């Protein structure tokens, strides 16, 4: 499977990330193509992430890349569909004061959408490198609930509302 890296990362330089990817059995490529399985993007709104989204390439954040290094990269067809967050052991806690919010969110394909709903739970996934925070949102139609990764929420900044 092929993986590409885009941007400057907080915890890895591209050479180190590339070495870790090769050690995980992936082949590092320089360009996103229709045959690229994964793109790790420092900026989910970058032109490379948008291109990958159009191709159907799975776009990962640096945190998701670390999750996949720890838990394993799913074998997928290129382009492929990412595994669902419901497959990961997320511990959920109900918020004392749920709140309504309109959220700008970048999905695994780099597509940015507006999501309106009631934020009612906070969760986290424990990894060797720390925790990844998630938020559960009941959509305005009251029929669906989404689990959103905090590092994919472009606005607003929830850390200012809840510690």
Residues (pLDDT < 70) of the chain are: 78-88, 109, 127-129, 142, 159-163
pLDDT at 110 (0 to 100) = 73
The answer to whether 93 touches 162, Cβ cutoff 8 Å, is: no
Residues 6+ apart with CB under 8 A from 62: 9, 10, 11, 12, 40, 42
What is the topology classification, in CATH, of domain 86-160? SH3 type barrels. (2.30.30)
pLDDT at 33 (0 to 100) = 87
The answer to whether 60 touches 76, Cβ cutoff 8 Å, is: no
Following CA atoms 17, 69, 145, 106 in sequence, which dihedral angle do they give, to the nearest 10 degrees?
10
CA nearest to 65, candidates 20, 34, 110: 20
Quote the tokens at residue 139.
Answer: 């959509």
pLDDT at 131 (0 to 100) = 75
pLDDT at 84 (0 to 100) = 52
What's phi and psi for 146, nearest 5 deg? -115, 150
**Could you tell me the maximum CA-CA distance found in the chain, to the nearest angstrom?**
46
pLDDT at 129 (0 to 100) = 64
- The structure's pTM equals 0.52
What is the topology classification, in CATH, of domain 2-81? Rossmann fold (3.40.50)
The answer to whether 138 touches 159, Cβ cutoff 8 Å, is: no
> What are the extents of the domains in the chain?
2-81, 86-160
The answer to whether 78 touches 34, Cβ cutoff 8 Å, is: yes
Please identify which residue in the block is written with the tokens 């399985």: 37
pLDDT at 160 (0 to 100) = 65
């Amino acid at each position: 499977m092929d993986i590409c890296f885009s941007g400057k990362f907080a915890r890895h330089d591209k050479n180190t990330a590339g070495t870790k990817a090769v050690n995980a059995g992936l082949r590092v490529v320089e360009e996103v193509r229709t045959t690229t399985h994964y793109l790790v993007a420092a900026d989910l709104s970058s032109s490379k992430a948008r291109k990958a989204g159009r191709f159907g390439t799975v776009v990962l954040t640096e945190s998701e890349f670390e999750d996949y290094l720890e838990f394993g990269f799913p074998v997928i067809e290129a382009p492929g569909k990412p595994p669902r967050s419901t497959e990961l052991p997320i511990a959920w806690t109900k918020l004392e004061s749920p709140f309504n919010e309109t959220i700008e969110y970048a999905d695994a394909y780099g597509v940015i959408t507006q999501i309106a709903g009631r934020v009612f739970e906070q969760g986290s996934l424990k990894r060797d490198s720390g925790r990844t925070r998630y938020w559960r949102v009941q959509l305005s139609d009251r029929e669906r609930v989404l689990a959103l990764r905090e590092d994919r929420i472009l606005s607003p900044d929830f850390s200012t509302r809840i510690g």
